[in-house]
Amino acid sequence: MNKGAGILLKANLKQNRVLILIWLVLLVGLFAGIALYFNDLFGTADEIAAIKEMMRSPAMVTLFGAFSDQQLSTTAGLLAAMMLIFMGIFVVILNIQLAIGSTRKQEDSGILELVRSKAVGKHAPLTAGILELVIVNGLLGGFYFLSLRVADLQDSSLAGDSLFAVLLVVIGILYGFVGLLAAQIGNDSRQSYLLSYLVFAVTYVVRMITDVTDPDYSWLSPFGWLTKAGVYQENDWRSVALLGASSLLLFVGMFVTIRSRDLGSGLLPIRSGRKTARGWLRSTLALQVRIERNGLIGWIVGSLVLGAGYGSVFNSVGDILKVNPTYEAVLGVSAVNNANRTIVLNYINILGVIFSLMAVLCGAMIIFSLKKNEEKGYLELLHVKAVSRTQLFLSHYIVAAVGALLVLGASILGMALAGEQALAYSLDIGYYWQTFGVNCLVVLSFLGLAAFLVGILPRGTMLFWGYLAIGFAGRYFSPLLNLSDDWQKLSPLGWTDKVPVGSLSLHWLVAMIALSIVLTSLGIFGYNQRDV
């Protein structure tokens, strides 16, 4: 049943070598860069104390997880608290992409049908996908471990460094297996991605809410298991055992489900379509809306739920000053309430970055589907008709832009609705509109870059993901690592200033509008000029 798995593994590694190399460089470079810098940044008791209170605030707990006072009292423990959840998110995304890309996407493209016509076992593609995940995560884990040993963090230990690296390996494999199981259940790669990211989103939201309300319930989420390991303190390997056992269950589930389906099909029911298309489907724009409809619905609903999850902790975020009677005695009740409001608004500013990132991911994937459809030959059916390249390009861009803005709006709406229920007072609705308006420009700036790459440099789309990851990391970690504001300004994610606490600077407003228009226009021009 697994005959030929080794050959397929080599083919997968060769096919994905550029993707894997870029992810390795980005993830290891980011991790090692921060780890090597950490002793200088938080090497004294005063420096640790300065960041410790911030890390214990509900706002930071929702982002990084709940950790014990003992762990937040050491340099090595602080690194674990800041990096476990953060790195785990990117590792999960990498593994889902690899898992489905090496299995279900190849089924959809017809490649596996050719492969299976030869002397290749039925389970060989799935086995090759599993081995690929193990190899890639093993490499990542090895580099993480070496980075920690070279960094030689204060209060670190061999056991702690080992546990840190292994946790990131097994969390990656776990969600990679989620992707492989979804590839068996979904009817195509789109459904498989949707199912995988739905599991990812739900488990992350569960971790976020339980960490703030009652950390004892964080055991309900695999991301909560990362925080329960007590890296550099108790070094509790039970989290690794739980992640490993869950991966084993998914492993069994994959091979059970693969026996119950035919090549190119899934286990979910397929609804029969209409015999004739509706009249409104006669345009390329309507066709693209129909193709992306289900995926967009999933993104919008998921964003609404995630936004509501973040908004549900507004009360905890806003009341941080009230836990210390000294603040209330010195500032007075009215001043404390004003300070609480400012803290919530700063929290909304941080959430705007996360929501913008989600919207960009949604929109960019739709724009890049133009390149993928071109490579697969799907567009030949449209090119034989009276359809201009500009129409084709704009149909993808318009759906991507509108879909991304709907995702952004849904997340902010969910945050606003849940936040207003959680707070004892009401925030002016204008704060939410300001957050939406500013981050719309951020999203459109990134989508302009995506459009530019598809039109001018179609082979350079990986540059987009690298730039997005670097920009997000710079915006996310600069305040915590006391880096200069220049690091935050690496991408449009850092150009929003402190909206809604303050107003957007005019030069950043002009820059984002100009980038959106110019880059998109260049993309359209380039797509009309280059060979398809």
Note the pLDDT of residue 332.
46
- Among 301, 294, 297, residue whose Cα is nearest residue 205: 301
pLDDT band at 515 (very low <50, low <70, confident <90, very high): very high
Q: What percent of the chain has pLDDT over 70?
A: 86
Average confidence score pLDDT of the chain: 84
Q: Which tokens belong to 331?
A: 């500032």
Q: Lowest-pLDDT range, 156-165, 245-254, 278-287? A: 278-287
Inter-residue contact 197 to 169 (CB < 8 Å): no
pLDDT of 368 > 50? The answer is: yes
Name the CA dihedral angle for 157, 162, 165, 169, rounded to a multiple of 10 degrees: -160
pLDDT digits (tens, 9 = 90+) for 52-81: 777 777 777 887 888 888 888 898 998 898
Distances (CA, A) of 364 to 10, 458, 530: 29, 13, 20
Q: Which tokens belong to 2?
A: 């697994």
Inter-residue contact 450 to 522 (CB < 8 Å): no
Distances (CA, A) of 24 to 12, 17, 21, 177, 289: 16, 10, 5, 20, 35
pLDDT band at 326 (very low <50, low <70, confident <90, very high): very low
Note the pLDDT of residue 443.
95
pLDDT of 495 > 80? The answer is: yes
Start-to-end CA span in the chain (Å): 40
pLDDT of 406 > 60? The answer is: yes
394: region left, alpha or beta (phi > 0 left; psi from -120 to 50 alpha): alpha
Tell me whether the omega of the peptide bond preceding residue 269 falls within 30 degrees of 0, making it cis.
no
Note the pLDDT of residue 35.
87
Residue 410 corresponds to which amino acid? A
Q: Which tokens belong to 494?
A: 């850092």
pLDDT of 95 > 70? The answer is: yes
Three-state SS for 179-212 is HHHHHHHCCCHHHHHHHHHHHHHHHHHHHHHHHH
Inter-residue contact 118 to 4 (CB < 8 Å): yes
CA angle 474, 477, 483 (to 5 degrees): 80
Q: Which tokens belong to 176?
A: 């990679």
pLDDT digits (tens, 9 = 90+) for 310-323: 887 777 665 555 54
Average pLDDT over residues 337-359: 83
For 331, counting Cβ atoms within 10 Å of its Cβ (0-12 exposed, 13-18 middle, 19+ buried), the class is middle
Name the pTM for this structure: 0.80
Inter-residue contact 254 to 184 (CB < 8 Å): yes
- In the numeric block, the tokens 């789309």 are attached to 461
Q: What percent of the chain has pLDDT over 90?
A: 30
CB-facing half-sphere around the CA of 13: CA atoms within 13 A: 16
Name the CA dihedral angle for 290, 295, 296, 300, rounded to a multiple of 10 degrees: 150
Note the pLDDT of residue 503.
82
Note the pLDDT of residue 159.
93
pLDDT digits (tens, 9 = 90+) for 17-61: 888 888 888 889 888 888 888 888 787 887 788 777 777 777 778
Name the CA dihedral angle for 459, 464, 467, 473, rounded to a multiple of 10 degrees: -130
pLDDT band at 532 (very low <50, low <70, confident <90, very high): low
CB-facing half-sphere around the CA of 349: CA atoms within 13 A: 20
pLDDT band at 482 (very low <50, low <70, confident <90, very high): low
User: Distance between CA atoms of 80 and 78, rounded to whole angstroms?
Assistant: 5
User: Distance between CA atoms of 400 and 361, rounded to whole angstroms?
Assistant: 10
pLDDT of 285 > 60? The answer is: yes
Inter-residue contact 447 to 363 (CB < 8 Å): yes
Q: Which tokens belong to 495?
A: 């150009």
More confident residue, 439 or 318: 439
Note the pLDDT of residue 259.
79
Name the CA dihedral angle for 376, 381, 387, 389, rounded to a multiple of 10 degrees: 10
Inter-residue contact 408 to 439 (CB < 8 Å): yes
Note the pLDDT of residue 331.
41
Q: Which tokens belong to 506?
A: 């005019």
Return the H-helix or E-strand segment holding 77. helix 75-101
Q: Lowest-pLDDT range, 113-117, 339-343, 425-429, 439-443? A: 113-117
Note the pLDDT of residue 330.
41
Residue 431 corresponds to which amino acid? Y
